[in-house]
A and B are shown apart, each in its own frame.
Chain A
């Protein structure tokens, strides 16, 4: 099959590749760029394990073609730590509040929560639950994920000292 050139910015780095038009963005990220943080859980955009940030929107990269991301700016879990390499408030929150178990949903969950907190700086618990409803977790029962996002929101809103 003929290949098409694509260029995009991923985690602040300019990247390019020759791809089949049918190549999914998740496979471009995982196979071509070696960014295996985003996962494939269902291939049908239900589970959200493949969630990344594309031009300021959460997207499920299993149902977007790589060529559709031409010129876009993408952030994956690999780009979530602070510039100095320390953990972001959300990453810290997931660890402190035991917001993960097997870890498979976690990259997508953190990416979605990251965008949620951009959209709503101080969400209520119900808003967090609604905001994460496109991302499935089979391990945690969500309660500690809600607490993890709250932890980050508190920290970002200056309501919390550094981690316990």
Chain B
């Protein structure tokens, strides 16, 4: 019984197109022909538009709102204010972090461009006219921009609504502008390590406020069917199922009456995890008007109001012996969370997974303390292409180890090698409590140093320094913690961070798989099909992958924190294995042998010792609907909800070479080599693409991105005129490499890769820039390394002209 007996094993492998092949992407066919379906492409009958009137002030009391003129604008249908939402109790909404956020400003505005009123009209132009016509009278209040002033005795109290609360979601507070303190590690042991240390270093390291800035801004279309009472919400949701639960909780609608659909998403990078006032107002709008309401933010709205990232004011300290072996790490962080504590982290982790801050190094003692504070800035605090606060943590330790290297006079590669967790130490438990699954750091670093001729580069640098030229070599040997996460550690709103996959095999041997995650460009339709293809022995071309529709996909927690492959990818493998187990029973029945007499080979079961006696998966699929063993349920499908036993720990070694023009401050990236180890590699083409993209985002952050505010809270430059998004001209050429250290606890050994290049990249760029000045006793330079700032450093050193 075989329909492919002519093919060799290799040809059969190739036909499957499974794990490890550089399969071209299935989703591309629609995107290259303009047939993607993004949220702004959704057009429902009777659809109207909504947009916000936003506050020009960062902190002000609202004295009055006059909507009369706006309502008189032709085409304007309604104007919502906080007072209109109050009777529905929707003027405030709960945040993922346990705080509350104003949907429409209630008596006060807390940041510039905050949402004050929502104008709904027949088309975008009428709405724009309406927005202009709303008259609001404000009374200015003192503005708090600098988080270092937030806890001062005489600091203005920002959140009057929360001033009397002991807890705004994440633990006790010590000041009306204080949100939480998070303290982890052994303070006593750390203090002891510092007290007895031969060498200590200390540095203030700011990871500036940035924005993920996906090319498609956030938006939604909400549509209430008044007859059936069913609400459908299309939107840019990285986590559609979570949105459904939130909408149910906030709006009080039964969850089965809500359908959330995330269509194609034009990039997310963390920006599309949160719940925003635009979603709530669109839902209210459709309930009030009985017509579908679309809201799509513009670029300035996006950069200035929906989910920023970082803004971590860190102080790092290392203690070490005279050979540069680290004996202790101490970190203090002042975290600027903006006006509402709306950062997106697993509930129990107010600083996310920041305690991965010991990085790739075997550090015996560490202590971390984080204070979150309110300021008059937009809320958010998402992981911009990284697992929760992992980029901040990795940046700090990768900067600090360089500072230590300079202090003890060690080479920056050597100090890393000296402190690495050794391959034989895995599985390794860090002093801050993480169980690293697998790794081989020395091999990765050695491979990179070899690839770039590190010794030659250092020699060249020494010669250039003799001539007064500035050349820098930056190294980052990072370890991530991704794939959130085990439900014992991680939940969002009390829901464990599992993920899911349901597979149905059709009678003719093709299949559909639905998952609880949501691609924003990662290529899930291609890679999940590859996992299932290898597990099931059906061609990946014959496996459709669907995500994003909560009416059809099994419940999952969505795509962010590099969790799709580690969690939903594992669910896909397990669901496929359930199907294969049933298929084996059917095959035994078909071939009239015992189950144990069968062995699996690529796409079929063979009878051991009788290689010509086979049942292919395709044949089994048909049999599953027609000729089953006695008593077996028909059909061939399975669902798996996967609660991972642990996180995964991808790692890498990156090296960046820069030349700095001391007269202009311009930094030219001459070379960038990125070696990633993400465990088992599903599609090398897609991995490389992810690495290129992540490195480019890292380049943007390190070299130019920053959300700046003046002292009255005006955001300086929230358009693409000012906010740095590199073009093809500035973007360096990337070189990539890899090693493979599979995760021992993941069913296919995969770890996730999409965020590694951003985590490791930022440190490599920044370390390279500082290294260019290391011989001049510069230990740290704050990001972003714009020509102006770099030139100011040159000027301060007297080499700027």
User: Given contacts A44-B721, A80-B33, A142-B728, are A101 and B124 in contact (CB under 8 A)?
Assistant: no
Q: Is the CB of A100 within 8 A of B32?
A: yes
- A135: shortest Cβ distance to chain B, in Å? 8
- B118: shortest Cβ distance to chain A, in Å? 19
Q: Is the CB of A22 within 8 A of B215?
A: no
Q: Is the CB of A41 within 8 A of B216?
A: yes
Quick check: is B645 within 8 A (CB to CB) of the other chain? Answer: no
List, in ascending order, chain A residues with CB within 8 A of B110's CB.
none
List, in ascending order, chain B residues with CB within 8 A of A1's CB.
125
- B234: shortest Cβ distance to chain A, in Å? 14
Counting chain A CB atoms within 10 Å of each CB, the highest count among B29, B214, B215, B689 belongs to: B215
List, in ascending order, chain A residues with CB within 8 A of B731's CB.
129, 141-143
Q: Is the CB of B41 within 8 A of A138?
A: no
Segment with Cβ contacts to A, from B225-233, B348-356, B362-370, B515-523: B515-523
Quick check: is A58 within 8 A (CB to CB) of the other chain? Answer: no
* Interface hits, B279-300 → A, CB 8 Å: 296, 298-299
Chain B, 291-316, contact with A by CB distance < 8 Å: what is the 0/1 string? 00000101100000000000000000
User: Given contacts A40-B40, A95-B25, A95-B28, are A78 and B34 in contact (CB under 8 A)?
Assistant: yes
* Interface hits, A93-134 → B, CB 8 Å: 94-96, 98, 100-107, 110, 128-130, 132-134
Quick check: is B727 within 8 A (CB to CB) of the other chain? Answer: yes
List, in ascending order, chain B residues with CB within 8 A of A27's CB.
124
Quick check: is B696 within 8 A (CB to CB) of the other chain? Answer: yes
Q: Is the CB of A98 within 8 A of B25?
A: yes
User: Given contacts A102-B214, A142-B696, are A39 and B40 in contact (CB under 8 A)?
Assistant: yes
List, in ascending order, chain B residues with CB within 8 A of A100's CB.
25, 28, 31-32
Counting chain B CB atoms within 10 Å of each CB, the highest count among A40, A44, A106, A141 belongs to: A141
Quick check: is A35 within 8 A (CB to CB) of the other chain? Answer: yes
Q: Is the CB of B728 within 8 A of A102?
A: no
Chain A, 25-65, contact with B by CB distance < 8 Å: what is the 0/1 string? 00100110011111111111011010000000000000000
Q: Is the CB of A141 within 8 A of B216?
A: no
- B491: shortest Cβ distance to chain A, in Å? 28
- A108: shortest Cβ distance to chain B, in Å? 10
Quick check: is B98 within 8 A (CB to CB) of the other chain? Answer: no
Complexed CA–CA distance, A100 and B30 (Å): 11
Nearest opposing residue in chain B for A132, CB measure: B728
Quick check: is B546 within 8 A (CB to CB) of the other chain? Answer: no
Q: Is the CB of B720 within 8 A of A42?
A: yes
Quick check: is B717 within 8 A (CB to CB) of the other chain? Answer: no
Quick check: is A73 within 8 A (CB to CB) of the other chain? Answer: no
User: Given contacts A101-B522, A140-B693, are A36 and B728 in contact (CB under 8 A)?
Assistant: no
List, in ascending order, chain B residues with CB within 8 A of A133's CB.
727-729
What's the interface size class on B, roughly? 35 or more
- A88: shortest Cβ distance to chain B, in Å? 9
Quick check: is B266 within 8 A (CB to CB) of the other chain? Answer: yes
Q: Is the CB of B31 within 8 A of A103?
A: yes
Q: Is the CB of A145 within 8 A of B299?
A: no
List, in ascending order, chain A residues with CB within 8 A of B213's CB.
138
- B510: shortest Cβ distance to chain A, in Å? 22
Q: Is the CB of A141 within 8 A of B692?
A: yes
* Interface hits, A68-106 → B, CB 8 Å: 76-78, 80-81, 87, 91, 94-96, 98, 100-106
Chain B, 681-703, contact with A by CB distance < 8 Å: what is the 0/1 string? 00001101110111111000000
Q: Is the CB of A102 within 8 A of B521?
A: yes
User: Given contacts A35-B34, A102-B266, A136-B720, are A141 and B695 in contact (CB under 8 A)?
Assistant: yes
Complexed CA–CA distance, A1 and B25 (Å): 46
Complexed CA–CA distance, A36 and B36 (Å): 8
Quick check: is B27 within 8 A (CB to CB) of the other chain? Answer: yes
User: Given contacts A44-B721, A128-B728, are A95 and B29 in contact (CB under 8 A)?
Assistant: yes
Complexed CA–CA distance, A145 and B269 (Å): 20
- A3: shortest Cβ distance to chain B, in Å? 12
List, in ascending order, chain A residues with CB within 8 A of B729's CB.
129-130, 133
Q: Is the CB of B34 within 8 A of A138?
A: no
Nearest opposing residue in chain B for A35, CB measure: B34
Complexed CA–CA distance, A128 and B734 (Å): 16
Quick check: is B264 within 8 A (CB to CB) of the other chain? Answer: yes
List, in ascending order, chain A residues with CB within 8 A of B89's CB.
none
Quick check: is B338 within 8 A (CB to CB) of the other chain? Answer: no
Quick check: is A6 within 8 A (CB to CB) of the other chain? Answer: no
Quick check: is A23 within 8 A (CB to CB) of the other chain? Answer: yes
- B793: shortest Cβ distance to chain A, in Å? 27
Which of A30, A36, A136, A144 meets B215, CB within 8 Å? A136
User: Given contacts A42-B299, A143-B733, are A104 and B719 in contact (CB under 8 A)?
Assistant: no
Chain B, 718-748, contact with A by CB distance < 8 Å: what is the 0/1 string? 0111000101110101100000000000000
* Interface hits, B10-51 → A, CB 8 Å: 24-25, 27-38, 40-41, 43
A-B contact pairs, 21 of them (CB 8 A): A30-B41, A36-B34, A39-B216, A43-B298, A47-B299, A80-B34, A95-B25, A96-B24, A102-B267, A103-B27, A103-B30, A103-B36, A103-B264, A104-B215, A104-B267, A105-B215, A129-B728, A132-B727, A132-B728, A138-B267, A139-B521
Q: Which residues of A contact B (CB under 8 A)?
A: 1, 20, 22-23, 27, 30-31, 34-44, 46-47, 49, 76-78, 80-81, 87, 91, 94-96, 98, 100-107, 110, 128-130, 132-146
CB-CB nearest 6 A-B residue pairs: A37-B34, A102-B521, A104-B266, A103-B31, A141-B692, A77-B34
Q: A42-B299, A103-B266, A141-B695 are in contact. List 10 more A-B contacts (CB 8 A).
A: A23-B125, A40-B40, A42-B719, A43-B298, A43-B299, A101-B521, A133-B727, A139-B521, A143-B734, A144-B692
